[in-house]
Amino acid sequence: MTDLAVRYRRKTTRHEVQAAVPRGAVTRVHVPDEDAKAHLVTALLKARTEPGEELELFGESAAELERPRRKQLLARVGAVSPIVGLITNLNAWENIALPAAYHGSPPLEQVATLTHQVLAAFGAEPRDFLARIPDELGMLERKMATFVRSLVATPELMVFDALEDGLSSAECRYVARFETEYRARAPQGTVLYVDTREDS
């Protein structure tokens, strides 16, 4: 039996969404509409389900989780999603460093090194990039900042929610490299792409 990172099921009167994501694999889940996508991503980010939903995260049922255990599981999940956007009154660096500074781990020096490495890999000039607030960043740059912020915690499960939405075809080639960057830092990690498009 395959070891699953995520098992999800949601049944409504209109449709049924099911997802089984093996650990360490790259999985693409196509859902019928935005509402279904928001439910799936929200369930993963909260490790919590609503009526009609079932979720198992790293083999544990979300319905039976105690608060501390839920917190531990959530620390293993990262996401690049419009649901977890940037904070508009903080610049890019403050946004990237905020979770690490708040939780006290990893050290900010480590976050700075990782940020510079990733930005360099994408050809961005760190000093200029990191000083700008989200309103001064383009869509691709905002996704990059969100990606780096997620990468800092080296999550076991990385969720890419509608990664290519709002991007040009040239920019889509950039974000396609997010997976490579993630793999370089978490070789055993699981990648989940969630999309509403049927052709992707």
Applying CB under 8 A, the residues found at the interface with another protein are: 45-46, 71, 74-75, 79, 83-89, 98-99, 101-104, 149
C-alpha–C-alpha distance, residues 50 and 42, integer Å: 10
Q: Which amino acid is at 110?
A: Q
CB of 1 to another protein, least distance (A): 31
**Residue 155, Cβ density class (10 Å: 0-12 exposed, 13-18 middle, ≥19 buried):** buried
Q: Which residues contact 1 (CB under 8 A, 6 or more apart)?
A: none
Q: Of the two residues 121 and 131, which places its CB atom closer to another protein in the complex?
A: 131
Q: Which residue matches tokens 């928001």? A: 38
Q: Of the two residues 143 and 149, which places its CB atom closer to another protein in the complex?
A: 149
Return phi, psi of residue 5, to 5°.
-85, -40
Q: Of the two residues 26 and 74, which places its CB atom closer to another protein in the complex?
A: 74
CB of 85 to another protein, least distance (A): 5
C-alpha–C-alpha distance, residues 76 and 198, integer Å: 29
Query: Does residue 106 have a cis peptide bond before it, meaning omega lies within 30 degrees of 0?
Result: yes
Q: Of the two residues 104 and 187, which places its CB atom closer to another protein in the complex?
A: 104
Output the six-digit token pair for 136. Answer: 């001064």
CB of 38 to another protein, least distance (A): 11
CB of 105 to another protein, least distance (A): 11
CB of 110 to another protein, least distance (A): 15
Give the number of residues written for the chain: 200
Q: Of the two residues 47 and 140, which places its CB atom closer to another protein in the complex?
A: 47
Q: Decide: helix, strand or coil at residue 73.
A: helix
